[in-house]
Structure 1
Amino acid sequence: MTRPLCVMLVAAEASGDDRGAALARALKRRLGDGVRFVGVGGANMAAEGVESPFDISDISILGLLEGLLAYPRIMRRVADTAALAAREKPDVAVLIDSWGFTLRVADRLRKLDPNLPLIKYVGPQVWATRPGRAKVLAAKVDHLLTIHAFDAPFFEAAGLPVTFVGNGALNIDFSHADPDRLRRQLGIAPAAPILLVMPGSRPSEIERVLPAFEDAVMLLKADRPDLEVIIPAAPTVADAVKAKVAGWSRRAHVIEGDEAKFDAMKAATVALACSGTVTLELALAGAPMVVGYRLGRLTHTILKRLILTPYIVLFNIAAQAFIAPEFVQDDCNGPALAKAVAARLDDPAFRAQQVAAQYAALDKMGRGGPDPSEAAANAVLKIVGERV
């Protein structure tokens, strides 16, 4: 009997965990019992059979100084990942997002088995900053699965084969989302306005971004006693979010799980969001939003000299316009955020205009296209087949 194909999936963040789980499901639809998974991931990948040797919140690091401080821990986790590969002997490794961690894992896997196909799933945004990373990645892996159609020329010029698979965040099905269900569950009146607060999925984001969001919420609630605040907590930071919100002087509902999150996105009058994949999800749900972000001061000082685009939100980049306002670093403060959110809470026409512009940008990015996970599964099996 032929042994099952062994696929190693490695993800170090919540968005990568989602992407890895979706790829695992797509491969299982193709191969059934003919595939097994090993690797590193979070709760979603664990549900698909990927038993991670450690908690990925341990390696979800953002920022240059933070990365330096965490370096010994990161390298221990790289060694743990390599040890898993040495023990399980995968037939292919798919390294999902998380540039610093997965690049080091690629080095170790290459030394373990020079013939192991290494696939990077989501490349660095070289069109926005540090274009030299395309050449670095080309020297480390065999193939790139990209979520942006405009990625390919940058990496192909460096000699790295690229397959465009699309962005799963543009294919989320909101047809089962039920905003009324959420209102009933939380005891929120049918007509009460809802501010959805999305503070990020990394511990560093909760530390840096959530305090500014809290300040904004307090200002907004002071003027709008009927405003309901809902905070979906990502699994990687749920405990930290709940602990911090418990100390707020005004009530906010902390929710967990995808069903509740998608219900809340559809229910939102306005969202206040940390920059990231969640901005695409909110735009798909039809939620007008204000976006905030903070990095460590040293990281921001260095990066602002390297960034080639004025935008950080992907649909803003696609539109080349600030459809959703972006408040970065010192501009990400309570009064500024509250003012931008209030302008949208108080003007239904303004909200509708922003939602329409968000939809147009999503269409430009490929909204409603083929399932990216199926395309990624096709690419993985094709690459494995070429190596057999």
Structure 2
Amino acid sequence: MSSPLCVMLVAAEASGDDRGAGLANALRARLGDQVRFVGVGGARMAQAGVRSPFDITELSILGVFEGVLAYRRVIRRVRETVALARAERPDVVVLIDSWGFTLRVAQGLRRAEPKLPLIKYVGPQVWAWRAGRARTLAGVVDHLLSINAFDAPYFEREGLSVTFVGNSALALDFSDAHPERLRREIGAGPDDLVLLVLPGSRPGEIARVTPAFEDAVNILKARRPDLHVVVAAASTVADEVKARVAGWPHRAHVVEGEQAKRDAMRAADLALACSGTVTTELALAGCPMVVGYRLGPMTHAVLKRLIKTPYISLFNIAGGAFVAPEFVQDECTGEKLAAALEARLADPDLRRRQVDAQFKALDAMGRGGPDPSEAAADAVLKLLAERRAA
């Protein structure tokens, strides 16, 4: 009997952890006990059988200059990841999202194991900024699994083969969501307004974005004492989020875990969200939202000269408009966020129109396509079969 296929999965933040878990589960469904996993990931990948040698929360770095300060720690973890690959001798390595960390891992693996197949899952957003990254990626990996239908030309012109697998957020299943249960647990009636707050999944986001979100919620609660506030805490920052919410002058309900998050997304009338994968998930749930984001001032000064799109949310990019309002950097203040939220709380028709526009943008992104984890598993196995045949 042949040895099980060894697949190494490497993720360094919450969204990558989700994708890695989905891919691991899809591969195990196909191969059963004929596949084993090694690598780097978070709680969800651990549940799927990928035991990480270190906590990935220390790699959730927000900003260019913060990355410089964390450089030595990142390089140490890169070396540990490469050493893990050399010890476990995987048949293939899938590097998920997290451009800075996974690029360095790819470079280290290419030097250490030149023939080891390397697959990048989620490419850098070269259509928005730093187009040269397409050539950089093509020089170190063998294949790209793309989550955007418009990615391929940017990388194929550099000689990198691409498989479009879709965005895993678009495949999020809300059929098991129980909004009534969530409302019952927080004491909200069917006609009561519920605001869902999603402050991010990185420590840097909690530090920079949450103060403005707190100010906005305080303003709204002063105007609307009966407004129910729910805060969804990502596993990577749950302790920080719960500690902050405990100090709020009004009651808010903190929920943890994917099931509770889905319940809350379907139960909420409106959301205040940190930019990221969660905005796509909210749109899919049919929840209108206001989006906020902040970077360090020096990082923002650099990036605003490089970014070519006026939008930061994927469905706004796909829709070519501010389908959901975005407040970035100096615009991300409690007063401005509260004003945009209040306009929607006061106008159910505005909320309905925004949901319709969000759905239209999701369709442009590929909503309703094949499950991305299944498509990614097919692509990984196909690449391996082709390499073995060659």
TM-score normalised by length of structure 1: 0.99
Question: What is the alpha-carbon distance in structure 2 between the residues aligned to residue 49 and residue 177 of structure 1?
Answer: 25
Alignment match, 2:237: 237
Answering whether residue 116 of structure 2 is matched by residue 119 of structure 1, we say no
Alignment match, 2:168: 168
Instruction: For 1:233-312, list aligned pairs within 5 A.
Output: 233-312=233-312
Write the deviation string for residues 247-305 of structure 1: whole angstroms up to 9, x where unpaired: 11111111101111000000111100000010000001110000000001111000000
Answering whether residue 160 of structure 2 is matched by residue 137 of structure 1, we say no
Aligned residue for 2:70, secondary structure, equals helix
Alignment match, 2:344: 344
Q: CA deviation at 1:184?
A: 1.8
Aligned residue for 1:284, secondary structure, equals helix
Identity of aligned residues (%): 71
Question: What is the alpha-carbon distance in structure 2 between the residues aligned to residue 355 and residue 188 of structure 1?
Answer: 22
Q: CA deviation at 1:123?
A: 0.3
The one-letter code of the counterpart of 1:258 is E
The one-letter code of the counterpart of 1:152 is A
Write the deviation string for residues 98-140 of structure 1: whole angstroms up to 9, x where unpaired: 0000000001111221110000000000000010100000001
Alignment match, 2:40: 40
Q: CA deviation at 1:238?
A: 0.3
Write the deviation string for residues 137-173 of structure 1: whole angstroms up to 9, x where unpaired: 0001010000001000000011111000011111111
Alignment match, 2:12: 12
Alignment match, 2:385: 385
The one-letter code of the counterpart of 1:260 is A
Question: What is the alpha-carbon distance in structure 1 between the residues aligned to residue 270 and residue 48 of structure 2?
Answer: 33
Q: CA deviation at 1:191?
A: 2.3
Stretch moving more, 293-302 or 187-196: 187-196
Q: CA deviation at 1:234?
A: 0.4
Question: What is the alpha-carbon distance in structure 1 between the residues aligned to residue 42 and residue 153 of structure 2?
Answer: 32
Alignment match, 2:324: 324
Aligned residue for 1:20, secondary structure, equals helix
Q: CA deviation at 1:189?
A: 2.9
Q: CA deviation at 1:312?
A: 0.5
Alignment match, 2:182: 182
Question: What is the alpha-carbon distance in structure 2 between the residues aligned to residue 81 and residue 187 of structure 1?
Answer: 47
Answering whether residue 193 of structure 2 is matched by residue 197 of structure 1, we say no
Question: What is the alpha-carbon distance in structure 2 between the residues aligned to residue 84 and residue 22 of structure 1?
Answer: 22
Alignment match, 1:95: 95
Question: What is the alpha-carbon distance in structure 1 between the residues aligned to residue 290 and residue 186 of structure 2?
Answer: 24
Q: CA deviation at 1:196?
A: 0.4
Alignment match, 1:313: 313
Question: What is the alpha-carbon distance in structure 1 between the residues aligned to residue 263 and residue 271 of structure 2?
Answer: 13
Q: CA deviation at 1:188?
A: 2.6
Q: Structure 1: any 5+ residue segments left out of the alignment? A: none
Q: Structure 2: any 5+ residue segments left out of the alignment? A: none
Alignment match, 1:3: 3
Question: What is the alpha-carbon distance in structure 2 between the residues aligned to residue 245 and residue 366 of structure 1?
Answer: 36
Aligned residue for 2:234, secondary structure, equals coil
Question: What is the alpha-carbon distance in structure 2 between the residues aligned to residue 255 and residue 372 of structure 1?
Answer: 26
Question: What is the alpha-carbon distance in structure 1 between the residues aligned to residue 309 and residue 190 of structure 2?
Answer: 41
Question: What is the alpha-carbon distance in structure 1 between the residues aligned to residue 161 and residue 42 of structure 2?
Answer: 28
